[in-house]
Chains A and B, each alone.
Chain A
Amino acid sequence: MAHGRPVPSLVAENIASGYGSGLVVRGVSLQAGPGEIVTIVGPNGSGKSTLLRTIAGLVPTAEGRILHNGADASRRSAEHRARAGMAYVPQEREVFASLTVRENLMMGGFGLSRKQLAAALERVYSTYSILGRLEKMYAGRLSGGERKTVAMARVMMASPDVVLLDEPTANLAPIPTAKLLQEDVPALASSGVAVLLVEQRAIQAITVSGWVYVLVAGKVEVEGSPEQIGDRRDVGAMFLGRGNPPTTVVPPVGATSE
């Protein structure tokens, strides 16, 4: 099922994880490669956030392996994975509220030398033009959209090669949502980053994706290219767009796993 997908920089092999003794993620395999936008969709509580937290290292991997650029990261700490180039923007509390915007960016570039830090700041300031105006403000006082931008800019400081985004458009108005999904995320991917995106706005996200996984009750129920996913009426009706299934009425085609 290669479908012209890039050589993966991030691979999850059959991973299981959860909180305490209960498993939330149960045997998930997925991959993402440089330049690729990979979207995970699924109903509320299906374990999407838990899956991203597991990959980022904030929830321990109970079973399976996580490979980052070929190296087994499953037993590595979250901070180690971050230093190895894995970036993660959580669904909530995505910025340091008590730090200024500039300090948030400096946290993103914590491991950089003074010179590299200056260069990285310049780079993200030119990518996200609103940052210059906000730099002295405390991140806790920003609007939802501004916060998401700061969170994106923060993870870009360290020039990661894998970026995990958990519902970056939650609570965003339509225009910033469109900007984020149609401009910022694709720009990130075309700079060579592997983007693993969890989204509730499934249809909008799938449109810009290279590959889609549908997660239901902690398992990958369906995976495929956007065309394949869009063509499946069952997936559309069950998981996409929250009661707004895609209007395509084409019979199911193509590869699905399991």
Chain B
Amino acid sequence: MTIVLFGLYSAALYAIGGVGFTLQFGVTNVLNLAYGSLITSSIFVEYYLTGHSTNLWLAMLVGGAAGTVLSFVVGFVVVGAFVRRGAAGFSIAMVTIGISLMIQYTLEAIQGPVVNAYASSNRSTLLSVAGVNLDSQQVTAILVAVVLMVVVHLVLRLTKLGLAMRATADDVSLTRVSGVSPARVRALAWLVSGALCGVCGVLLGIGIGTFDAAIGNDFFITAAAAAIAGGVGKPYGAMLGALVVGIITQASSAIISPAFSSISAWVLLVAFLILRPQGIFATYAAEREIVA
């Protein structure tokens, strides 16, 4: 029960980050390995801009806005320039690694030798189930994740933007000959996924309480594992994948050792890639026709 509850909290963060990542990849076809450093950047912006505020709503607003802008600049402007010149696949992934390192070293320079820490707010226990206490921050994160997932679902299913995103992810040429500009859809995908990335970042940073210039990287591996578990490019898969990964990483840190939790994320990632690169829910997703 403990594992499930804490797993739920981890899953909330992985879901936000994983859905952002998978949506971005699905629509833009860019494997953005700088996603982790964009998560980190959002925390940095929030931390310095709000004067270390731990007010979650303010943080999500500022972090979300930062993520949106940074994602657009990195994805649409910089990576987009390479894509428009005809680069694809592996070379694009390399470009994003380069960007990721640049961001990380810049943030390290800004941070200096100290570890950034939020003043520990009085985190009152809000929910107490079976001896497990979830504080208000954690409960908020779970609720925010649920709301965001519902919003993503509604946007994908019911709006023209969602339709255009799913069409672009499916077939770019067919989208173009339908009179829809994929460039515009991609621009919007960078914005939306950036917002998710930023919100995820501040929830992560404030949740842990301290952070450095590498915080996003480990988290990104796990969020990517969640996205891959669900089949890359499939937002519903990423939501389910986040639950599985959240609970498994919590279980491994509870049963084996907390130090093992990020190792288990790596193991999961590699295992998914070897065993079911199309996603553990591929058959389920196909049967239920929830591929997005």
List the A side residues contacting B160 at CB < 8 Å: 110
Interface presence of B128 (CB below 8 A): no
B177 to chain A, nearest CB (A): 5
| Total CB contacts across the A-B interface at under 8 A | 71
- Interface size in chain B (residues, C-beta < 8 A): 20
Interface size on A, as a range, is 20 to 34
Bound CA span A56–B174, Å? 11
B218 within 8 A of A: no
Interface residues of B in 159-179 (CB under 8 A from A): 160, 163-164, 166-167, 169-171, 173-179
Knowing A107-B163, A110-B164 touch, does A98 contact B292 (C-beta < 8 A)?
yes
A54 to chain B, nearest CB (A): 13
Q: Which applies to chain B's interface (DSSP): helix, strand, loop or mixed? A: helix
Contact A98 B177 (CB under 8 A): no
Please report the C-alpha to C-alpha distance between residue A110 and residue B176 in the assembled complex, in whole angstroms.
11
A82 contacts B by Cβ under 8 Å:
yes
**Contact (Cβ within 8 A) A103 B163:** yes
Chain B residues, CB < 8 A from A96: 166-167, 170-171, 174
> Once the chains are docked, how many angstroms separate the CA of A111 from the CA of B173?
17
Contact B181 A106 (CB under 8 A): no
Partner of B177, one of A82, A97, A106: A82
Q: How distant is A66 from chain B, measured CB to nearest CB, in Å?
A: 14
Contact partners of A90 in chain B: CB under 8 A: 173-174, 177
Q: A82-B177, A99-B167 are in contact. List 13 more A-B contacts (CB 8 A).
A: A58-B173, A78-B173, A78-B176, A82-B178, A88-B177, A90-B173, A93-B171, A96-B167, A107-B163, A107-B180, A110-B160, A110-B180, A158-B179
Chain B residues within 8 Å of A, Cβ to Cβ: 160, 163-164, 166-167, 169-171, 173-181, 289, 291-292
Chain A residues proximal to chain B, CB less than 8 Å = 56-58, 77-79, 81-83, 87-88, 90, 93-99, 103, 106-108, 110-111, 138, 154, 158
